[in-house]
Amino acid sequence: MQDILELKKNGDENELKIGKRVQEQTNLFQLDLLLFYLPSTCFSFHGLPGSLFRFLLVFSIQISILRSQEVSCNSNDLMALKGFSSCLESNITSWNISSSDCCTWTGVTCDNSTVTSKRVISLELGGEKLTGTICESLASLDQLRILNLSHDSLRGSLTTKLFQMQNLKVLNLSGNYFVGPIPANTDLPSILNLNISKNSFSGTVDGNLCNFFPHIKHLDFSYNRFPGEVPAALGNCTSLQHLFLNRNNFTSNLPKSLFQLQHLNELSLMYFWEACLRGPINVNCSAMARLISLHLGLNNLHGPIPESLSSCPSLSVLNLGHNNLTALQILQNCRNLTILLLSENFQGEEMPDNVNLQFRNLSSLDVSTNHLGGNIPPWFNKFSYLFYVDLSNNSFSGKIPEGLPDLRGLIDMNISLEVPSASHSTELGQTVQHRREIPTGGQVMTFPSSSFEGNKGLCGRSLTPCQPARGPLMHPQQDEQMTVFGLQFGFGAVTGFVLTVAHCFMSGWVFPKES
């Protein structure tokens, strides 16, 4: 009855329907109890046994009770949603605000928690192009489990009450225009997935965050403006499986505590805008047995790749590009690598030539702009799943490995070299007097000529022609014979000329003697 009185105070006549339905439901329930306690001898209908007739009558009444529940919506939840809608600059066109049944509104999901009404447990309005701010009234949805307002155009700072919803499990506010710090006095004891990425949040990340999110599994703070040090206390979020802190303003060494998270599957700390992370990589693979993906690119990390990295049993994706790392050889023992991105790191090193590399399932390899020397290793034909390889802007020499053009899955390959400082004609870096033709056949024929630029020792395709435009191309043996003949002819001609001139001088034909 209290719910009915509250609705009457609002002056909305349509909402009085809830009171009528509650009264009807109460009457049916009382009748159901009365029929249950009356003796079966009181019931008789056209010869049907009294007990059977009473059962059918009670059953029909219970069906009526269930039907009366289908249109009910908790009044507090209804008012909370109306308050949320009032703070939006753009109306949610599919919401009928005059309706008393909020459970039928787009994006709203209810449960059957009570006899008299349903409670809102999920509000999902991602991508609905909402504009405006979030009102505090939204926090009155005290049974809410899922709140998804991602990829809208909401702005402003967040109310503290929104971060004190005791039953909230999933909160996704990504892709909006929110600003300011994460509210103080945060208390989300049930939260499992928190995504506030792609906003403009700032302010120091509270070191006690994990105390507020004791069961958090997915935490995404990426693409914001958080400054200072990466909180070492994040290592206390012992249930974390996915942690994304990339593209912020963090400036510090990598906290060792992050590499102690035993359940972590994915860690991304790459590209911190104008700032960057520095120091060595302190991976503890003995503790991170479930680590699958590690992204540390576009920072200022330095030193050797830790040997422990090769003992991460589940590591599949590794991005260390654009740092100042050394010891490339260590990675040859990483068994399960499928994606390996290492551009702009290893100065003057060589790729390992070990044909027994462990990661046979490699699909993408980028070692561009590393100034790597030596030969391109011969083990590429071992990678039957390889579809992308970038070896550009290095200082390789020798030949293109024979197995590389034969990889059927290869979609994109780039082996364009650095522009050499001298006028050397190179095959892949070596001084030579002739050039090698780009291999024909296989997947190589699908790659653009730009994939081979800078290799002055390569010819063919749309690069420099491999032979002069005039005349037929000679067989190598014929070419050798012609060279020998040319040398013999030249030597004979010069010798004959010298002897003839000498004879003329000696005979007095050029300068006759005086008589």
User: What is the arithmetic mean of pLDDT over 57-86?
Assistant: 74
pLDDT given for residue 485 in this prediction: 47
User: What is the arithmetic mean of pLDDT over 472-482?
Assistant: 47
Gap between the Cα atoms of 365 and 119, Å rounded: 51
Convert the pLDDT of each residue in 399-420 to its tens digit: 888 777 678 888 888 888 654 4
The structure tokens 């249109």 sit at 71
Please, which pLDDT band fits residue 470 given cuts at 50, 70 and 90? very low
pLDDT given for residue 40 in this prediction: 55
Flag whether pLDDT at 182 surpasses 80: yes
Please, which pLDDT band fits residue 469 given cuts at 50, 70 and 90? very low
What angle (nearest 5°) sits at the alpha carbon of residue 282, between those of residues 281 and 288?
120
pLDDT given for residue 188 in this prediction: 95
Kindly report the three-state secondary structure assignment for every residue of 438-485.
CCCCHHHHHCCHHHHCCCCCEECCCCCCCCCCCCCCCCHHHHHHHHHH
User: What is the arithmetic mean of pLDDT over 140-165?
Assistant: 96
DSSP string of 178-209, one letter each residue: EEEPPPSS---TT--EEE--SSEE-SPPPTTH
Q: What percent of the chain has pLDDT over 70?
A: 65
Q: What count of Cα atoms within 13 Å lies in the side-chain half-sphere of residue 129? A: 5
Convert the pLDDT of each residue in 486-495 to its tens digit: 545 455 555 5
Q: What count of Cα atoms within 13 Å lies in the side-chain half-sphere of residue 335? A: 5
**3-state percent helix, strand, coil for the chain, nearest multiple of 5:** 30, 15, 55
Please, which pLDDT band fits residue 423 given cuts at 50, 70 and 90? very low
Kindly indicate whether the domain formed by 170-459 is annotated with CATH number 3.40.50.1000. Answer: no
Convert the pLDDT of each residue in 224-236 to its tens digit: 999 988 989 999 9
Gap between the Cα atoms of 125 and 128, Å rounded: 6
Flag whether pLDDT at 209 surpasses 80: yes
Residues contacting 455, CB < 8 A, separation 6+: 415, 416, 417, 426, 427, 428
User: What is the arithmetic mean of pLDDT over 78-106?
Assistant: 91
Flag whether pLDDT at 268 surpasses 70: yes
Flag whether pLDDT at 273 surpasses 90: no
pLDDT given for residue 416 in this prediction: 82
Residue ranges of the chain assigned to CATH 3.80.10.10: 74-169, 170-459
User: What is the arithmetic mean of pLDDT over 40-64?
Assistant: 57
Higher pLDDT, 370 or 443: 370
Flag whether pLDDT at 482 surpasses 90: no
Task: Assess contact for 299 and 322: CB atoms under 8 A.
Answer: yes
Distance of CA 198 to the CA centre of its chain: 13
pLDDT given for residue 163 in this prediction: 95
pLDDT given for residue 393 in this prediction: 92
pLDDT given for residue 353 in this prediction: 83
pLDDT given for residue 80 in this prediction: 96
The domain covering 74-169 belongs, at the CATH homologous superfamily level, to Ribonuclease Inhibitor (3.80.10.10)
Task: Give me the chain's average pLDDT, please.
Answer: 78
The tokens describing 306, both together, are 């830790």
pLDDT given for residue 421 in this prediction: 42
Flag whether pLDDT at 134 surpasses 70: yes
Q: What pTM was estimated for this model as a whole?
A: 0.72
Flag whether pLDDT at 36 surpasses 70: no
pLDDT given for residue 8 in this prediction: 37
Gap between the Cα atoms of 85 and 133, Å rounded: 10
pLDDT given for residue 505 in this prediction: 52
Q: Closest Cα to residue 339, out of 280, 370, 402, 297?
A: 297
pLDDT given for residue 392 in this prediction: 92
Distances (CA, A) of 47 to 39, 41, 44, 55, 132: 17, 12, 7, 15, 68
pLDDT given for residue 448 in this prediction: 60
pLDDT given for residue 25 in this prediction: 52
User: What is the arithmetic mean of pLDDT over 247-268?
Assistant: 92
pLDDT given for residue 445 in this prediction: 56
